[in-house]
Structure 1
């Protein structure tokens, strides 16, 4: 879970380098929203995060389900993304990780997103 929590901490600090430090180069990001899928690289996602102009960012997750098999792992967890404590979107994050040279890194991120999040707080 350490790279996932470090990734969220980097989001909160709008720290692109710290976000990328938790991932392999060209980590794939897939966003599922009503109307279809959006595919990004982790670099694209980090740019979107750091360019959010105002407010404190947080993406708390809860009740993560972690599965590990040797040098691969997955983390499935509901989230609520907030700006200044107000939910902007919510859904479920799914991280795929791999242990490379003794270090766990994020190799894929998929999440769904919806706007009606008041009940998800």
Structure 2
């Protein structure tokens, strides 16, 4: 996940921290990346599943026997003052193998000089290209 501009790196920092929290199954680390009450929408088979970041953190933060990892590439970052958006293709790995892929969309806000996730939505599909 490389960004060309320092401002883009700052916007991408909470996204990277979210993925690290997910990989560690650390609910608190996941919550810290976002505004309280931030919305998460997971699109699966054309149907949205909507939850708060707190519910998402609780769901992903449960101990598990599998290693999970989400990776984005070629992020498109747009910034206007204290508002930003990140659009990026992703792959989601379970025990090192691609489970699903799609596109992540993050709406970001800068609060007290720190970028936070205001909402995230993703598409998830199984017909992923083999890396």
Q: TM-score, normalised by structure 1?
A: 0.93
Partner Cα distance (2:16, 2:86) in 1 = 11
Does residue 98 (structure 1) correspond to residue 102 (structure 2)? The answer is no
Alignment partner for residue 72 of structure 1, among 83, 94, 104? 83
Give the ranges of 4+ consecutive aligned residues of structure 1 lying more than 6 Å apart after TM superposition.
none
1 CA distance for matches of 2:81 and 2:67?
37
Given the alignment of the two structures, is residue 7 of structure 1 paired with residue 18 of structure 2, yes or no? yes
* Number of matched pairs: 120
Structure-to-structure mapping, 1:33-44, within 5 angstroms: 33-44=44-55
Matched residue, 2:99: 88
| Structure 1 residues 64 and 53: CA distance shift in structure 2, 3 A | same
Give the match's secondary structure for 1:55: coil
Give CA-to-partner distance per residue, 1:34-66, whole Å, 9 cap, x none: 141111111111122123621211101100000
What are the ranges of 5 or more consecutive residues in structure 2 without an aligned counterpart? 1-11
RMSD: 1.3
What are the Cα deviations for residues 5-62 of structure 1, in whole angstroms up to 9, with x where unaligned?
Answer: 1111111111110111110101111111214111111111112212362121110110
TM-score by length of structure 2 reads 0.86
